[in-house]
């Protein structure tokens, strides 16, 4: 008979879980008002906003791009800026690499 009771308890637990999934729309009420020991929010949590933010407009199309081509001068300036940035990064990486053996403790 113990097998029958445990099977009944398992079936009741599954039914309770299935019924409680419908409560997700009101779970914030329980979490906001119940004490922490019963599954509520911990102390010091900021209150929920009165009006939740609107959903993102995922189906709205972005504005059209500017399809004008770069001039030769603009392209040359951009390439020069990229080269300067790369050389600066290489210089900084070399400095960090040369300092790291002196700064970091040995790993044991």
**pLDDT tens track for 28-87:** 666 677 777 777 778 888 887 888 788 888 888 888 888 888 999 999 999 999 999 999
C-alpha to C-alpha distance for 20 and 38, rounded to whole angstroms: 16
Instruction: Go through 76-85 and write b for each residue having 16 or more CB atoms within 10 A of its CB, e for each that does not.
Output: eeeeeeeeee
Hey, what's the torsion of the CAs at 28, 32, 36, 39, to 10 degrees?
-20
Cα end-to-end distance, the chain, whole Å: 59
Cβ contacts of residue 78 below 8 Å, gap of 6+? 70
What pTM did the predictor assign?
0.34
pLDDT tens-digit map of 15-36: 776 666 666 566 666 667 777 7
Within 10 Å of residue 41's Cβ, how many Cβ atoms?
17
């Amino acid at each position: 008979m113990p097998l029958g009771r445990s099977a009944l308890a398992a079936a009741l637990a599954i039914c309770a879980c299935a019924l409680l999934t419908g409560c997700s729309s009101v779970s914030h009420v329980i979490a906001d008002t119940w004490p922490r020991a019963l599954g509520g929010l911990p102390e010091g949590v900021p209150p929920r906003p009165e009006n939740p933010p609107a959903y993102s407009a995922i189906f709205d199309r972005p504005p059209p791009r500017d399809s004008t081509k770069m001039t030769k001068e603009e392209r040359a300036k951009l390439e020069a800026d990229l080269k300067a940035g790369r050389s600066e990064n290489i210089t900084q990486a070399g400095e960090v690499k040369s300092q790291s053996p002196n700064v970091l403790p040995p790993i044991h």
